[in-house]
Structure 1
Amino acid sequence: MRLPPGVELPLSRQQLRSIGRATARINLWHGSVRSGKTVASLLAFVIAVATAGPSGLILICGRSLQTIERNVFEPLQDASLFGPLARHIHHTRGATTAVILGRTVHLIGASDVRAEGRLRGLTAQLAYVDEATLVPESFWTQLLARLSTSGARLLATTNPDSPRHWLRTGYLDRAHELNLRHWHFKLADNPSLTRQYVADLTAEYVGLWRRRMIDGAWVVAEGAVYDMWDEQQHVVDTLPPMLRYWAAADYGTTNPFAALILGLGADDRLYVVSEWRHDSKTAHRQMTDAQYSEAVRAWLRRLDVEPEWTFIDPSAASFQTQLWADGHPGVARADNEVKPGIRSVSSALSAGLLYVHASCTGLLGEIPGYSWDPVATAKGEDKPIKTADHSIDALRYVLHSTAHEWRHLLSGSGQGRTESLGQHLA
């Protein structure tokens, strides 16, 4: 097959095969992270744009405009990846249209079920969907209905999800019944990855996430969320000198309020050094935002700790405002994405990078019972059971919101700790 002029990427046999055969009505690239599926799918899409007829719209869809910009246009406009072709990709950040090879392309975010309304009434000939498992099923169904011109095609890429996810049961498992082609990618299908990078990437995922993100398997979430948790390994009675501190709080009025301090030790390990909780049901009194703010600041003063950042659940806007008004430094909205946050905590625990001080009794009581919701799992969704998770949520906020500060510790010295907990890396 012929690639666009100027594109001289080293491509694997699997990538070339998928690009050349992406002529079905539905074409799906799925598999592990960084396995080369995105580059292959984007090249196939650009070739499809170049050969598209004059009738029908060309669409690029994703969970949000921001993810489309990050996952689609940043690679396409990278000359180190696509050479001279990158000069023919034009997009202004925030705009809902782009120009690819002189053709106008419409960008559509699909974060919830209401997004399918944006497709109604239009006629499309070509569509690209980034991270297909993250768009609503109703959006996907409506998009297929809109691809009604002769020879219309859908190209999509995704990481695996639950084996009961609608994309798996309704499309991949029925590929023999549909006009659908799909290609499963593994890390070995990306010729640009070094052996060291593959080892580092593998160290970042454990358990369920390793099966999905590294092995590319559609596997079910079941049992304990943090199945690598070992109280004998992860709980400590003494702490080393701390180099840095961050804090986080999960806000509650009728539910417990939980705040944690995370420290980076001189030994390059992370420690939950202290916890403050208030349960209005057991204390028989609720606290106001102002009272919570004073209590948290008094707790930090007693410990003589001033965190660089304090991450608050984005839904607790009034409490954030109270902290700002009281002059608390470094107040920030936490990154509250549940599954990516769970992956961050899982990776740190499994690598022997994260430890909890024995005084944090609320967190220590919650972790062993934190489990996947079997009802959600049966529907193809990954959701933990929403009970007894307040300190756990605070831990997720502070770990995931600071991941860029500590993720490098998962390789190098962190890999030695991985070996000491090797039995948990199933």
Structure 2
Amino acid sequence: MFDLARVTAVLSPKQITSIVESSRARISIWAGAVRSGKTIASLLAFLIAVAAAPDHGLIVICGRTRETIERNIIEPLQDGSLFGPLATQVHHTRGSNTAVILGRTVHLIGAYDVRSEGRLRGLTACLAYVDEATLVPEAFWTQLLARLSVPGARLLATTNPDGPAHWLRQQFLLRAPQLNLASWHFTLDDNPALPADYVRSLKAEFVGLWFRRMILGEWCLAEGAVFDMWDTERHIVRELPAIRRWIAVGIDYGTTNPFAALALGLGVDNVLYLGHEWRWDSKQQRGQLTDAQYSERLRAWLKGIGVHPQWTIVDPSAASFVTQLHQDGLTPAAGDNAVLNGIRTVASLLGRGRLKVHASCHGFINEIPGYSWDPDKAAKGEDAPIKADDHSLDAARYAVHTTQSAWRSDLKEAV
């Protein structure tokens, strides 16, 4: 079924070892850096397991959502450059909750919240594959293991590392000898198929916490400053270059808390600039504004600084303000509030020197040095910043992270 000579030629020794050793374990976990080769190794092991699976018992692929399963698992399995003729034996209609792999029906199950484990109740499985295991609820994982009751049943999983207190590490990886569990740790340098230029670029894109996790594959604690790469000499500018276009104004809405708006522009030097900021702190100003007043003052501020942004990106929880902006002729869009992903985007840009801040953005400049990871949540295995003094930071994150499609190609040209 497999062209072993071809497989051996393109895989690293660690990938080959993991494929072979996984066949002898009930639970196999490939953990480590992004693009480190762990997924390809695990998928090859999964195809071998599908071919050898018992006729009775279901085969399931689990992930955060069905869409992520399609993107991360099904599409790679259908790539002939990766899996050769085997790719033609992977059939799936987008949106369907099943696929046919090597002639076997495979069920695709999303596991996005604690209620997801109910989807597993009553089924009997002989083989399971879990994509990004740290993102599925612990109750789902536990229920899945209970459903793998066919003799010789196996679970294969991949994951990027999380905090050292995460349940997957504490309850499973550290207890491997007791659980018939095999695991392999991959770093970015373990993938021989990646071009050297790409590896250098990827290492430059991840900084701080994400460099340790996504490049080195470490299970490390989120601690200290969130933006530990922030350098006032490097990141603050007193004069803006010519701005090719104003991409967005990001808005963090507040009534008792400060209202913050920051304008994001792309300079002629292919660097992003937070060039202007407007804030209203009702406590300092000793008066709250209505949605209509916020809209009026925001529009007057943009007119006064001569900025006509392509997008107005608003705090997604500010439904009443979004309605007001629509009534006033604007077309606001809800900000992407995936906090960790947004922080990572901003951190990457700061680390690469591709995001700079004008000295007039006092709120942002005052907030960023003290923006820290929450140690109490980190101790429980959760990555989250302390929610305090982050209004301008949130506005900037909405503007930067939500509009990636508008600036990524420009910044890549400059690398």
Match of 1:112 in 2: 113
Tell me the distance in 2 between the aligned counterparts of 1:105 and 1:253: 50
Structure 1 stretch 400-409 or stretch 203-212: which is displaced more?
A: 400-409
Question: Normalising by structure 1, what TM-score?
Answer: 0.92
Gaps spanning 5+ residues in structure 2: where? none
Tell me the distance in 1 between the aligned counterparts of 2:93 and 2:5: 24
Q: What's the CA shift string for 1:367-423, capped at 9, x where partnerless?
A: 111000000110111110011111111111122123344445666755xxxxxxxxx
CA contact 2:270–2:411 (8 Å) conserved in 1? no
The reply to whether residue 308 of structure 1 matches residue 310 of structure 2 is yes
Match of 1:13 in 2: 13
Tell me the distance in 2 between the aligned counterparts of 1:83 and 1:2: 9
Pick from 243, 253, 264 the counterpart of residue 251 of structure 1: 253
Match of 2:271 in 1: 269
Tell me the distance in 2 between the aligned counterparts of 1:343 and 1:42: 27
CA contact 2:26–2:155 (8 Å) conserved in 1? yes
Match of 1:40 in 2: 41
Secondary structure of 1:387's aligned partner: coil
Match of 1:129 in 2: 130
Secondary structure of 1:149's aligned partner: coil
Secondary structure of 2:40's aligned partner: helix
CA contact 1:8–1:83 (8 Å) conserved in 2? no
Tell me the distance in 1 between the aligned counterparts of 2:8 and 2:97: 30
Q: What's the CA shift string for 1:29-67, capped at 9, x where partnerless?
A: 011110111111111111111111121111111111121
* Cα displacement (A) at 1:295: 2.2
Alpha carbons of 1:126 and 1:156: their partners in 2 closer, same or farther (altered >3 Å)? same
The code of the aligned residue for 1:226 comes to: F
Q: What's the CA shift string for 1:184-233, capped at 9, x where partnerless?
A: 11223222101101001111001111111111111111111011112222
Alpha carbons of 1:409 and 1:168: their partners in 2 closer, same or farther (altered >3 Å)? farther
CA contact 1:7–1:85 (8 Å) conserved in 2? no
Q: What's the CA shift string for 1:126-166, capped at 9, x where partnerless?
A: 11111011111111111111111111111000011111111
Question: Normalising by structure 2, what TM-score?
Answer: 0.94
The code of the aligned residue for 2:395 comes to: A
Aligned length: 413
CA contact 2:125–2:150 (8 Å) conserved in 1? yes
Tell me the distance in 2 between the aligned counterparts of 1:401 and 1:362: 20
Identity %: 64
Tell me the distance in 1 between the aligned counterparts of 2:408 and 2:41: 28
Secondary structure of 1:176's aligned partner: helix
Match of 2:56 in 1: 55
* Cα displacement (A) at 1:5: 11
Match of 1:417 in 2: none
* Cα displacement (A) at 1:321: 3.1
The reply to whether residue 184 of structure 1 matches residue 185 of structure 2 is yes
The code of the aligned residue for 1:112 comes to: D
Alpha carbons of 1:33 and 1:98: their partners in 2 closer, same or farther (altered >3 Å)? same
Secondary structure of 1:297's aligned partner: helix
Tell me the distance in 1 between the aligned counterparts of 2:59 and 2:292: 52
Alpha carbons of 1:94 and 1:291: their partners in 2 closer, same or farther (altered >3 Å)? farther
| 1:127-166 map, 5 Å | 127-166=128-167
| 1:207-356 map, 5 Å | 207-245=208-246, 246-329=248-331, 331-356=332-357
The code of the aligned residue for 2:375 comes to: P
CA RMSD of aligned residues (A): 2.0
CA contact 2:8–2:16 (8 Å) conserved in 1? no
Gaps spanning 5+ residues in structure 1: where? 415-426
The code of the aligned residue for 1:268 comes to: N
Q: What's the CA shift string for 1:258-311, capped at 9, x where partnerless?
A: 111111111221111111122233333333333322222221111111111222
